[in-house]
């Protein structure tokens, strides 16, 4: 998850003009997946008067959940009958997906992609360090957070790192230069401002921050978070709002197509796209950047996907295809 902390602002889902491009992109790519996507959009799109407070409450629940001990009680009603499947550990493979585009063609030679695996598996041991506040333009915010976990205790930080490795393999096979903001090789963090700075200093052509959400059971699906316009303090997103939206639409389209997973049914109006101005990792970026919340770790059905190595490979493939599409223009 990406939005813990006392200064959390609920996301601002809106019926954006992005809905049409995503629909078109998805329709062009995969009519089969679109059917499921459309059903979700129709029945799960929270286009109702009470939606905002409901969504905010749901997300606040998720924020609270991140500080729970993994496997904490309280969500048993939606828990699967048995323990969550043990995370599988297949190695990332550039050829695992039948939909891989011309792997190894080198078409991304000269392109730089920064992958930001959200959180850090060791953050929980460094509470004082990660609670230090950093300036994200709109406000001051925790350096980093621990992230969420499945009910069985598998941490988001391990999920994000695994998917990052798979995505790196896929993008490097396309010839891209890939840099990770952390590779499980730091005691904690990095802080969100440094995560942004790493992408900036690498002059990344695209950057993506990988997460999984910690919302209430029953809330399912993925969403891509786009930077809103912020021009305040050290933050100035004006130049990246448009290209980031383009990147995000393509990542969302690729993700739907390859995973067959529907956009979130609890925010984003069923578009799979949410624009936010409270995330330091986006506010402080000067390169096109998006976040992706791949699913909800606190929902049993989503957790079954997130803990599956084969599903994570598809997730990485979907992201890769979106990024490749964006970089090829
Ligand atoms: Zn996260």
Cα(1) to centroid of ligand 1, in Å? 2
pTM above 0.85, yes or no: no
Q: What pLDDT does residue 143 have?
A: 96
Q: Tens of pLDDT along 105-140?
A: 578 999 999 999 999 999 999 999 999 999 999 999
Cα(26) to centroid of ligand 1, in Å? 25
Q: What pLDDT does residue 103 have?
A: 45
Cα(237) to centroid of ligand 1, in Å? 21
Question: Catalytic residue numbers?
Answer: 293
Q: What share of the chain is helix, strand, coil (3-state, %, to 5)?
A: 40, 15, 45
Q: What pLDDT does residue 8 have?
A: 34
Q: What pLDDT does residue 27 have?
A: 42
Mean pLDDT of 266-286: 97
Mean pLDDT of 74-102: 42
Cβ contact 141:283 at 8 Å: no
Q: Counting Cβ atoms within 10 Å, is residue 7 exposed (0-12), middle (13-18) or buried (19+)? A: middle
Q: What pLDDT does residue 10 have?
A: 39
Q: How far apart are CA 121 and CA 157, in angstroms?
A: 5
Whether the pLDDT of residue 86 is over 50: the answer is no
Q: What pLDDT does residue 329 have?
A: 87
Q: Is 290 left (phi over 0), alpha (psi -120 to 50) or beta?
A: beta
Average pLDDT, the chain: 78
Whether the pLDDT of residue 82 is over 80: the answer is no
């Amino acid at each position: 998850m990406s939005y813990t902390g006392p200064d959390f602002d609920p996301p601002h889902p809106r019926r954006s003009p992005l809905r049409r491009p995503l629909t078109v992109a998805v329709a062009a790519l995969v009519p089969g997946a679109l059917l499921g996507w459309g059903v979700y959009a129709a029945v799960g799109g929270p286009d109702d008067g009470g939606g905002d407070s409901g969504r905010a409450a749901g997300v606040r629940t998720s924020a609270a959940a991140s500080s729970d001990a993994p496997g904490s009680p309280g969500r048993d009603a939606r828990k699967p009958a048995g323990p969550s499947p043990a995370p599988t550990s297949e190695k990332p493979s550039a050829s695992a997906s039948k939909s891989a585009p011309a792997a190894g063609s080198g078409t991304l030679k000269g392109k730089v992609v920064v992958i930001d695996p959200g959180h850090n598996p060791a953050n929980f041991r460094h509470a004082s360090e990660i609670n230090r506040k950093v300036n994200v333009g709109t406000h001051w915010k925790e350096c980093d957070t621990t992230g969420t976990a499945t009910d069985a205790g598998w941490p988001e930080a391990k999920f994000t790192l695994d998917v990052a490795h798979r995505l790196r393999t896929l993008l490097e096979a396309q010839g891209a230069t890939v840099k990770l903001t952390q590779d499980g090789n730091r005691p904690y963090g990095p802080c969100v401002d440094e995560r942004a700075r790493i992408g900036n200093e690498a002059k990344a052509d695209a950057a993506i921050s990988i997460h999984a959400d910690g919302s209430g059971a029953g809330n399912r699906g993925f969403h891509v978070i786009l930077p809103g316009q912020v021009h305040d303090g050290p933050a100035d997103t004006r130049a990246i709002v448009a290209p980031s939206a383009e990147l995000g639409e393509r990542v969302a389209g690729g993700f739907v197509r390859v995973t067959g997973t529907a956009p979130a049914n609890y925010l984003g109006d069923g578009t799979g796209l949410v624009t936010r101005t409270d995330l330091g990792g986006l506010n402080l970026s000067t390169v096109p950047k998006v976040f992706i919340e791949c699913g909800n770790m606190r929902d049993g059905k989503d957790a079954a996907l997130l803990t599956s190595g084969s599903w994570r490979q598809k997730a990485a493939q979907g992201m890769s295809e979106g990024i490749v599409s964006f970089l090829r223009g």
